[in-house]
Amino acid sequence: MPFVTHADARLYWRRDGDPALPPLVLVNSLGTDHCLWDPVMPRLVDFFHVIRMDMRGHGASDAPAGEYTVELLARDVLAVADAAGLETFDCCGISLGGMIGQWIGLNAGSRLRRLLLCNTTGRADPAPQVARIATVKAQGMAAVIDTVLGRFFTDRFRARGTAHLHSVAQTVLALDPVGYAGCCAAVRDHDLLARLSAIDVPTTVVVGRHDLSTPPAMGEAIAAAIPGARLVELDCAHIPHSEDPPAFVAMLMTALEPQRSQADPLPGAHVASGALPAGVAPVTGVAAHATLIEQYQRGIARRKQALGEAYVTARVEQNDPFSADFQNMITRWAWQDVWTRPVFDDRTRRLIVLAITSSLARWEEFRLHAKAGLDRELSPTELKELLQQAAIYAGVPTAVSGFKMASELLAEREAARKS
């Protein structure tokens, strides 16, 4: 486990994803640890070198006695960024993490590439935190668990009783009340709203339509204060990436991929204010040719990742002049554009492809993706269940053909294993 010591506290942090990718620091809310981000990690690591941490008073980090400040917590984050070797980074903070992001934007803005402030406020109402500090000190974390979960999530999400919901609940219950109260003091004293106009970092502010802890008006005030900030509303409560991971990832990718956000906004988020640029001017001549080459190269890399390097290399070598333009087009369109969109993970995307190709009797493509899926992210049981569904919605003959082809693939895999 990586730790860094800062201001008399040993802080736990971890990295995920390829260090060559753009760095993204995630800062969680009061009452949670780094696992709060688990629902979106499978998609984020495809695009970012992700740094997560347990803020002091939470998770595996120390919980020193006394009251903390947002400045202290922000300097903890910068200490972790230093330990990870990050000179600059994108930062996404939620709730208290968003307050920390505000401080970093004001006082260490040169370290930031872009800033996401989610479900947070520029000025806190002290009264709720005063009451919560007294409660947890006297009665422990169990006394506030229902209140915390009721404000974190909508009723409809809590009713689902997901494993992630139970994980968040267990994290809250396991917290040291001393550390939790220390962070409550940081929230209680947070008041940066009047200074936010000095933030000179591209900023996206996210609000939850059903957020009781930091209602949309609080985010609107932040977006109005920061020059050029964009405001995005999601259909959730206080922890959006837990309730709707695809919508949150789509929003995040829109914010952190400027060309895509200008020309092709991703689904799942409503841009509530802040004008987007008018558009990207056409690229022509040598620059356009270079762009097409780069798109093709990214598409080939993604195709190899999804289908296997040996298969793709062999197919490319079979290209002939007659089909070259078509192969270039499909590589850019399907693999560089569609297969890199962030909403679906590869397992979900593969199941969709298999369902469509079996239903349309595109058996060559079905076999290709069934083999690649079994080699990577699918189990035989999942493939079997997909074909069971196909029997109902696409017809028994479709399932018969699909089961025959899948059985052949599994037999080939077993023979290869024994050889």
Tens-place pLDDT, residues 371-418 = 999 999 899 999 999 999 999 999 999 999 999 999 999 999 989 888
Lowest pLDDT segment from 156-165, 240-249, 254-263: 254-263
Looking at the structure, tell me whether residues 243 and 132 fall in a common domain. Answer: yes
What's the whole-number mean pLDDT along residues 2-27?
A: 95
Domain boundary among 226, 252, 273: 273
Looking at the structure, tell me whether residues 296 and 218 fall in a common domain. Answer: no
Residue position matching structure tokens 């990870």: 84
User: What's the pLDDT band for 177 if we cut at 50, 70, 90?
Assistant: very high
Domain boundary among 273, 305, 324: 273
Looking at the structure, tell me whether residues 179 and 321 fall in a common domain. Answer: no
**13's tokens:** 């942090």
Looking at the structure, tell me whether residues 292 and 235 fall in a common domain. Answer: no
What's the whole-number mean pLDDT along residues 179-197?
A: 98
Looking at the structure, tell me whether residues 254 and 345 fall in a common domain. Answer: no
Looking at the structure, tell me whether residues 356 and 213 fall in a common domain. Answer: no
As a whole number of angstroms, the distance between CA 330 and CA 315 comes to 13
Comparing CA positions, the residue from 88, 38, 210, 68 lying closest to residue 129 is 68
Is there a domain that residue 218 lies in? yes
Domain boundary among 273, 302, 331: 273
User: What's the pLDDT band for 258 if we cut at 50, 70, 90?
Assistant: very low
**Number of domains comprising the chain:** 2
Looking at the structure, tell me whether residues 260 and 335 fall in a common domain. Answer: no
Tell me: pLDDT of 322 over 90: no
Which residue range(s) make up the domain with 299?
285-418
Tell me: pLDDT of 116 over 50: yes
Q: Which residue has the higher pLDDT, 225 or 251?
A: 225
Tell me: pLDDT of 171 over 90: yes
Looking at the structure, tell me whether residues 221 and 330 fall in a common domain. Answer: no
Looking at the structure, tell me whether residues 346 and 252 fall in a common domain. Answer: no
Looking at the structure, tell me whether residues 253 and 311 fall in a common domain. Answer: no
Is there a domain that residue 280 lies in? no
What's the whole-number mean pLDDT along residues 260-265?
A: 34
Quote the percentage of the chain above a pLDDT of 70. 91
What pLDDT does 321 receive? 76
Q: What CATH number is attached to the domain comprising 374?
A: 1.20.1290.10
User: What's the pLDDT band for 7 if we cut at 50, 70, 90?
Assistant: very high
**Tens digit of each residue's pLDDT (9 = 90 or more) over 270-308:** 334 333 333 333 334 434 444 667 778 888 888 998 999
Is there a domain that residue 279 lies in? no
User: What's the pLDDT band for 129 if we cut at 50, 70, 90?
Assistant: very high
Question: Is 10 within 8 Å of 61 (Cβ atoms)?
Answer: yes
Is there a domain that residue 278 lies in? no
As a whole number of angstroms, the distance between CA 134 and CA 166 comes to 25
Looking at the structure, tell me whether residues 254 and 362 fall in a common domain. Answer: no
Q: What integer best gives the mean pLDDT of the chain? A: 89
Contacts of residue 153, defined as CB under 8 A and 6 or more positions apart, other chains included, come to 165, 237, 238, 239, 242, 243
What's the whole-number mean pLDDT along residues 166-178?
A: 96
Comparing CA positions, the residue from 255, 265, 278 lying closest to residue 113 is 255
As a whole number of angstroms, the distance between CA 359 and CA 373 comes to 17
Looking at the structure, tell me whether residues 231 and 340 fall in a common domain. Answer: no
Q: What CATH number is attached to the domain comprising 96?
A: 3.40.50.1820
**Tens digit of each residue's pLDDT (9 = 90 or more) over 28-53:** 999 999 999 999 998 898 889 999 99
Q: 210-221 as b/e, with b when 16 or more CB fall inside 10 Å? A: bbebbbbebbbb
What pLDDT does 325 receive? 78
- Please, what sign has the CA dihedral across residues 41, 42, 47, 50? positive
User: What's the pLDDT band for 344 if we cut at 50, 70, 90?
Assistant: confident
